[in-house]
Amino acid sequence: MFSAMLRKPRSKRRSGCPVSVSLDIIGDRWSLLFIRDLMVRGYRRFREFEESGEGVATNILSDRLRKLKSTGIISTEVDDSDRRRVNYRLTQKGIDLAPVLLELLIWGARHERTEASCATVEKMSKNREALLNEVRARWKNNDPRPLQVNGRWVWP
């Protein structure tokens, strides 16, 4: 009984609406960016997220990675080359967000000023399924090659 009192209380959901429930999990300022970095940029280590250029504080980064792990969106694996390090990886639940991220990318590039080139966005828009299949295949095969390098998309 005493240990139950020490546990952090579960956050209450605003409603049972699927959009609201999803936003409770990934609707903060950082979570989708970390998911993007895992999915598109090939990031695996804490330091890579920290040095991504987004300007996230380490305590926020730690908290969001912990939250994404506790909700089953990412998992951790011990690094084969250095057993003291942990690598982050999307789970099936996490990779299922690929269509959401792709649509956000296309929407943002169409309606706001971004660094994405019109040609790249148009290619993604016309080849949604091919790009999503590539993302899923790389995840399934644990292929660490990024789809984006230094802001440039490098997918077939």
How do residues 49-78 score in pLDDT, each as one tens digit? 999 888 999 999 999 999 999 999 999 999
Closest by CA position to 89, among listed 102, 73, 101: 73
Q: What is the per-residue pLDDT for 10?
A: 54
Position with higher pLDDT, 7 vs 22: 22
Of 1-10, 65-74, 98-107, 110-119, which gets the smallest average pLDDT?
1-10
Residue ranges of the chain that CATH labels 1.10.10.10: 17-93
Contact 65, 46 (CB under 8 A): yes
Cα atoms in the Cβ-side hemisphere of radius 13 Å centred on 139: 26
Amino acid (1-letter code) at residue 116: A
Q: How far apart are CA 66 and CA 6, in angstroms?
A: 19
pLDDT tens digits for range 21-30: 999 999 999 9
Is the pTM higher than 0.75? The answer reads yes
Q: Considering the domain 17-93 in this protein, what is its CATH number?
A: 1.10.10.10
